[in-house]
């Protein structure tokens, strides 16, 4: 089926980055499955045809709005091993490894959460078995698919890292160690076998059985190529680390903007909390009279919200996090009146000034699905960096994440969100979001992009809910990301600079060009009016696709 980046109609709907992902969602929906069934099937297919961004080796956040209006979060962020700690990212001399030397090692891999979350989502809210939901992914991995320009480019970005590991070479590089060419058919029968095993035996095979043992072996004794064995460090993972893993079922962060009620995932995602603070500050500034005023306020508020994010947020299971204080009326009112953009606000509950940074990688991936019968899923998943750790699990065909590579031992504060801690779930920026008004759904959306997820979703929400744009108009609008970098510079797409850079410069903003060719973020969402409009990126990351099915 040929897809467009905007689709309108009545019935079920979905928006994603890849047409094969929509094929899987549509197959489930047209057969009578619900939005959770379709989301799990689509996520599994993403692991086949968008393997640099998600799949079995990663985790994420699934936001589910159930018929009747209740919204739940299935948190399945990657988790550190019991052995992970302050010495895990140090070299033999006690110095911290530079960022470039962290990702392609066993110590960077966290326990993946995707399989546990898929199984529990289906068990609690779905109508299909795990085997039925994984069937489209099994078929695609077995028969293969045509490599497009996006996948080729992503492999090329990690070619040198992929060349370190024999199974990764065999799957994604030619015998001459070049990226598999555009137009070639990529088959992954090992991944098809992994999906079949999980479908037949459930999550136990992944967390306690043969796949668990293969993951542990790959982490602790990375299958390095003969000419790269001295450049890869082992990790310290056990089968007990995998067996210990649980997906958490949490209440969402709920917040308001104008007459709208919004929901998003709680910690360890900073996405909803930071967006909630940003929109709370914007709400207190009142309506923006012009688009330039809107963009000026968005940039200032985003910088303030990131100052607080970096100061106060972390894994609230392991460190004290004053998250609720950030959203109180008294704090937001005082913060909105402050002229101090770059420093965190004064919270009466205190908070250690630690910094939490993560890669600005576009490797994360997002999809949004609605079944036309009252259930909506907004799901963001990731293997962290583009291509994760670069390590394909031998015999099972999936890339492992590098969720622990961004942690650091040397920051201020006794405990910090980036400090290596046993079984920590690293701070995330993922922000799947659902918007309601008077109890009825208005839109659902999300985006990939590391910390730019937050600014992408915040910008889209402010343009749509605050300035009256349609979701399609807000997604297409040029983007700028202000994340309180030390010099205060915001990074902007070329179209943004051409249209708004000069006027915003007159208001004191400074910009640099966002250099990655794929643009900032890659949103996918649904807007509910008389019917439903599915919206995906027209250009960014090669353009996404959207569909509406009469079911």
State whether 253 and 143 are in the same domain: no
State whether 270 and 150 are in the same domain: no
pLDDT for 313: 85
State whether 170 and 302 are in the same domain: no
Do the Cβ atoms of 439 and 67 come closer than 8 Å?
no
What is the average per-residue pLDDT within 7-34?
97
Report residue 231's pLDDT band, with 50, 70 and 90 as the boundaries: confident
What is the average per-residue pLDDT within 396-406?
93
Residue 353 has pLDDT above 60, yes or no: no
| CA distance linking residue 133 with residue 119, whole number of Å | 10
pLDDT for 44: 98
Report residue 516's pLDDT band, with 50, 70 and 90 as the boundaries: confident
The residues pairing with 294 across neighbouring beta strands, listed in sequence order, are none
Residue 355 has pLDDT above 60, yes or no: no
Structure-model confidence comparison of residues 516 and 284, the more confident one: 284
State whether 261 and 239 are in the same domain: no
Least trusted range by pLDDT, from 84-88, 282-286, 495-499, 540-544:
84-88
pLDDT for 409: 52
Annotation marks residue 533 as catalytic: no
pLDDT for 417: 53
State whether 255 and 203 are in the same domain: no
State whether 493 and 377 are in the same domain: no
pLDDT for 407: 66
Domain contains 430? no
The catalytic position among 71, 81, 364, 533 is 364
Mean pLDDT of the chain: 92
Closest CA relative to residue 216, chosen from 41, 391, 453: 391
Domain contains 548? no
What is the average per-residue pLDDT within 233-253?
97
Q: What is the pLDDT of residues 410-431, one digit of tens each?
A: 443 333 555 788 999 988 999 9
State whether 119 and 266 are in the same domain: no
Domain contains 23? yes
Domain contains 392? no
What is the average per-residue pLDDT within 480-500?
95
pLDDT for 408: 57
pLDDT for 316: 87
State whether 332 and 210 are in the same domain: no
Do the Cβ atoms of 120 and 36 come closer than 8 Å?
no
State whether 242 and 310 are in the same domain: no
Report residue 96's pLDDT band, with 50, 70 and 90 as the boundaries: confident
CATH number of the domain to which 283 belongs:
1.10.246.130
pLDDT for 46: 98
| CA distance linking residue 76 with residue 111, whole number of Å | 10
DSSP code, position 227? G
Q: Which residue has the tokens 């090992």?
A: 190
Domain that holds residue 259: 249-345+352-359+449-517
Report residue 47's pLDDT band, with 50, 70 and 90 as the boundaries: very high
Report residue 351's pLDDT band, with 50, 70 and 90 as the boundaries: very low
State whether 53 and 154 are in the same domain: yes
Alpha helix segments (H runs only) across 355-497: 452-461, 471-476, 494-496
What is the average per-residue pLDDT within 498-523?
94
Residue 13 has pLDDT above 70, yes or no: yes
pLDDT for 87: 82
Domain contains 538? no
Query: Domain tally for the chain?
Result: 2
Structure-model confidence comparison of residues 516 and 235, the more confident one: 235
What pairing do the DSSP bridges indicate for beta strands 524-528 and 532-536? antiparallel
**CA trace torsion 308, 312, 313, 316 (10° rounding):** -150
Least trusted range by pLDDT, from 93-102, 456-465, 500-509:
93-102
Residue 350 has pLDDT above 60, yes or no: no
Q: Which residue has the tokens 């979905």?
A: 14
Domain contains 316? yes
Least trusted range by pLDDT, from 150-154, 238-242, 276-280, 342-346:
342-346
What is the average per-residue pLDDT within 123-137?
98
Least trusted range by pLDDT, from 85-89, 193-197, 519-523:
85-89
| CA distance linking residue 332 with residue 336, whole number of Å | 6
With a pLDDT cut of 70, the percent of the chain lying above it is: 94
The residues pairing with 492 across neighbouring beta strands, listed in sequence order, are 480, 513
State whether 226 and 289 are in the same domain: no
* HSE value, Cβ hemisphere, 13 Å, CA-based, for 496: 28
Report residue 298's pLDDT band, with 50, 70 and 90 as the boundaries: very high
Highest mean pLDDT: which range of 215-229, 315-329, 330-344: 215-229
Residue 386 belongs to what H/E stretch?
A: none
Domain contains 396? no
Torsional sign, CA 172, 175, 176, 180: negative
pLDDT for 361: 54
State whether 29 and 100 are in the same domain: yes
What is the average per-residue pLDDT within 32-54?
98
* HSE value, Cβ hemisphere, 13 Å, CA-based, for 226: 0
With a pLDDT cut of 90, the percent of the chain lying above it is: 81
Domain contains 532? no
Structure-model confidence comparison of residues 313 and 443, the more confident one: 443
pLDDT for 322: 83
| CA distance linking residue 191 with residue 174, whole number of Å | 19
Q: What is the pLDDT of residues 459-478, one digit of tens each?
A: 999 999 999 999 999 999 99
């Amino acid at each position: 089926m040929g897809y467009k980046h905007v689709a309108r109609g009545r019935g079920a709907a979905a928006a994603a980055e890849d047409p094969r992902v929509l094929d899987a969602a549509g197959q489930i929906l047209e057969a009578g499955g619900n939005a959770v069934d379709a989301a799990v099937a689509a996520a599994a297919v993403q692991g086949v045809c968008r393997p640099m961004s998600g799949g079995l080796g990663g985790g994420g956040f699934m936001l589910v709005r159930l018929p009747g209006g209740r919204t739940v979060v299935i948190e399945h962020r990657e988790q550190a091993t019991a052995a992970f700690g302050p010495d895990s990212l140090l070299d033999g001399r006690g110095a911290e490894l530079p960022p470039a030397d962290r990702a392609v090692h066993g110590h960077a891999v966290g326990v993946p959460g995707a399989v546990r979350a898929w199984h529990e989502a289906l068990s609690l809210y779905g109508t299909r078995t795990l085997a039925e939901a994984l069937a489209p992914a099994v078929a695609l991995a077995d028969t293969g698919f045509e490599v497009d320009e996006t996948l080729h480019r992503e492999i090329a970005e990690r070619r040198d890292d992929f060349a370190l590991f024999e199974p990764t070479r065999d799957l994604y590089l030619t015998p001459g160690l070049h990226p598999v060419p555009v137009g070639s058919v990529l088959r992954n029968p090992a991944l098809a076998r992994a999906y079949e095993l999980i479908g037949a035996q459930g999550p136990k095979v992944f967390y306690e059985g043969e796949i668990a043992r293969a993951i542990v072996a790959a982490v602790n004794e990375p299958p390095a190529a003969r000419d790269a064995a001295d450049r890869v460090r082992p990790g310290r993972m056990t089968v007990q680390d995998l067996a210990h893993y649980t997906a958490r079922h949490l209440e969402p962060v709920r917040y308001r903007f104008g007459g709208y009620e919004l929901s998003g995932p709680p910690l360890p995602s900073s996405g909803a909390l930071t967006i909630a603070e940003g929109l709370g500050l914007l709400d207190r500034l009142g309506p923006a009279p012009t688009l330039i005023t809107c963009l000026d306020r968005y940039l200032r508020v985003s910088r303030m919200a990131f100052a607080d994010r970096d100061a106060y947020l972390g894994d609230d299971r392991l460190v004290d996090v004053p998250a609720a204080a950030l959203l109180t009326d008294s704090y937001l009112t005082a913060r909105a009146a402050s002229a101090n953009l770059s420093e965190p606000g004064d919270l009466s509950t205190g908070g250690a000034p630690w910094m939490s940074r993560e890669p600005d990688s576009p490797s994360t991936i997002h999809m949004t699905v609605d079944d036309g019968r009252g259930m909506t899923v907004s799901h963001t998943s990731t293997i962290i960096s583009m291509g994760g750790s670069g390590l394909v699990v031998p015999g099972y065909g999936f890339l492992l994440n590098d969720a622990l590579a961004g942690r650091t031992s040397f920051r201020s504060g006794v405990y910090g969100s980036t400090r290596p801690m046993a079984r920590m779930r690293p701070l995330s920026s993922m922000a799947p979001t659902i918007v309601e008004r008077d109890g009825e759904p208005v839109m659902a959306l999300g985006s990939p992009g590391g910390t730019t997820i937050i600014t992408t979703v915040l910008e889209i929400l402010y343009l749509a809910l605050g300035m009256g744009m349609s979701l399609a108009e807000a997604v297409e609008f040029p983007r700028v990301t202000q994340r309180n970098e030390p010099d205060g510079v915001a990074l902007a797409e070329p179209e943004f600079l051409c249209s708004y850079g000069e006027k915003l410069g007159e208001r004191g903003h400074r910009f640099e060009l966002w250099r990655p060719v794929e643009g900032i973020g890659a949103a996918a969402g649904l807007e509910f009016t008389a019917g439903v409009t599915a919206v995906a990126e027209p250009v960014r990351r090669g353009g996404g696709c959207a569909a509406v099915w009469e079911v």
